[in-house]
Copies of this chain bind each other. A is one copy, B any other.
Amino acid sequence: MRKDLIETWKKRINQLRREEKRFINLNPIQRGGILSPEARKILDEFADGYSLCDWCTGSLYELKRPPVLEFLEDLASFLGTDVGRVVTRCREAKYIIFKTLAEPGDVIVVDGLAHYSTFLAAEAAGLKVVQVEHSGYPSFELKLEEYQRRIEEIKRTYRKPPALVLLTHADPTYGNLGDVKKVSKICREEDIPFVLNAAYTAGVMPVDCKELGVDLLVSSGHKSWAASGPIGILAMRREYAAKVLRRSSSFPKKELAVMGCPVLGLPLVTLMASFPYVMERVKSWESELEKTRYLVNKLEEIQGTIQLGVKPKQHHLIHMESKGFEQVSKRVKERGYFLYHELKERGVVGILPGRSKHFKLSVYGLEWGEVKRVAEVFQEIAKKYGVM
C-alpha cells in the first residue's frame, strides 16, 4: 500500500460532491430513477451494510420485516404476472433466464435494437444470437413480423426452434416502443418462451404481462422504478418458476441462479419505498408523452433538426439529429462541446459532452414549466448561433 493513500483519499472524498444534482438533468437513463420523496426519507435508516437483515430467518424472499415477501407478490401482481424477484441488475435477470431456459450453443432471437447488455448476457451464457432487422434511417422501426421468419430459419438450420425470443420494449437508442402483442402471438403459436426487456418501460408506463402475452419480464429499478442503483426485476408466469428459480441441491432454501439473497440494502428498500409512487405515476403516462412530443416539436423548429425513430413519440427517450448544431460545431472553437456548455450555463445537463449532431434526451417527470424552459433553452442557443 502506498504511504500517502489515506491522505490522498481524504482529499478526494470532497470531490465526490455532485454539482450536476442542482441542474435539470435530461439524460434519459436518469429521469426514471430519481427517488420518490418517500424513498429519500428512508436513506439513512437502511444505509448500513446489512441493515435489511435484522429479521432475516434464512432467505430474503421470505422476509416479513421489512415486508419483502409481500412486496414480491405485489410486484408480480402490478406487472400482471405470477412470480416476482429482485436481482442485482436487469442484465443479471436476462442472464439468469438465458442460463436456465437455454443450453450453451442454443440460439435465441432478439430485436436488432436490443441493449448491449442483452448481447453480453447471451455471450456470457454461451448462446448464439439471431437479430430481427429494423427499417433503418430515420425511423429505425423494427420489422416485428420478421420474428416469424427468423424462427422458421432457425428451425430449418438447427432442427429445433430457438430456446427463447426476446423483445426490447423500448429500445435504448431511439426510444421506439415495440408492439409486444405482435411478437407474443408468434411465440405463443410456436410455443417458444417470450421475454420482454422492460428496462425502460415497466415503472414509468403501464405494463401488463397477461394482457401483452409476456412469459418472462425483466426490468431495471434504477432506470425506471425511482430506486437507488443497482437493482433488477425478474418476473414470470408460474410455469417458468420451477426452471428459472430452481433451488440449490445443497442449500434447498436458496435459489441457485441468483445464488441466495441477490440484493439488499438501499437498492431494495428504495424500490419498496417508491412502489406506491411508481404505481401512481404510470397512470400519467399519456401526459408524459404529451411533454415529450411538445419538446420534439420545439426542437424540430431548429434548422436541420429532426427526431429520429418512430413518430409521434410513444416513449420518453428522444433521439434528435441536428444538422444545424453540427454546422455550429464545425465553426466554433469548442467543437461539439459548445452545446454541452451552453446548456449547462442555462441550468441544463445530461446531453453527453461533445455531442451536437446526435443527442438523446428526456423530460420524463419534469413539470410543464421545466419542459417549456428546456425547449426555450435549446431555441435560445440555436438563435445565438444563427441556426433558428
Please give the residue numbers on chain A whose beta carbons come within 8 Å of chain B beta carbons, in ascending order. 1-2, 5-6, 8-10, 12-13, 15-18, 20-21, 25, 27, 29-30, 32-35, 38-40, 42-54, 65-67, 70, 74, 77-78, 80, 88-89, 91-92, 95, 116-117, 119-121, 123-124, 208, 221-223, 226-230, 248-251, 254, 256-257, 259-260, 262-267, 269-270, 272-273, 275-276, 279-280, 349-350
- Chain B residues positioned under 8 Å from A54 (CB to CB): 18, 20, 25, 27, 30, 349-350
* Bound Cα distance from A16 to B65, whole angstroms: 8
In the bound complex, residues from chain B placing their C-beta under 8 Å from that of A226 are 49
Inter-chain pairs besides A16-B66, A230-B264, A266-B266, 4 sampled, C-beta below 8 Å? A5-B74, A16-B269, A95-B259, A116-B250
Closest to A74 in B: B5
- Are A45 and B18 interface neighbours, CB within 8 A? yes
Q: How far is the CB of A237 from chain B (nearest CB, A)?
A: 16
- A29→B52 CA distance, assembly (Å): 11
Chain B residues near A350 (CB-CB < 8 A): 54
Q: Which chain B residue lies CB-closest to A23?
A: B54
| Contact present for A50 and B259 (CB under 8 Å) | no
A157 to chain B, nearest CB (A): 21
The contact of A45 among B17, B32, B222, B270, by CB within 8 Å, is B17
Minimum CB–CB distance for A130 against chain B, Å: 14
Contact between A230 and B263, CB atoms less than 8 A apart: yes
Contact B6 A50 (CB under 8 A): no
Cβ–Cβ contact B49 & A5, under 8 A: no
Q: A254 CA to B115 CA in the complex, in Å?
A: 13
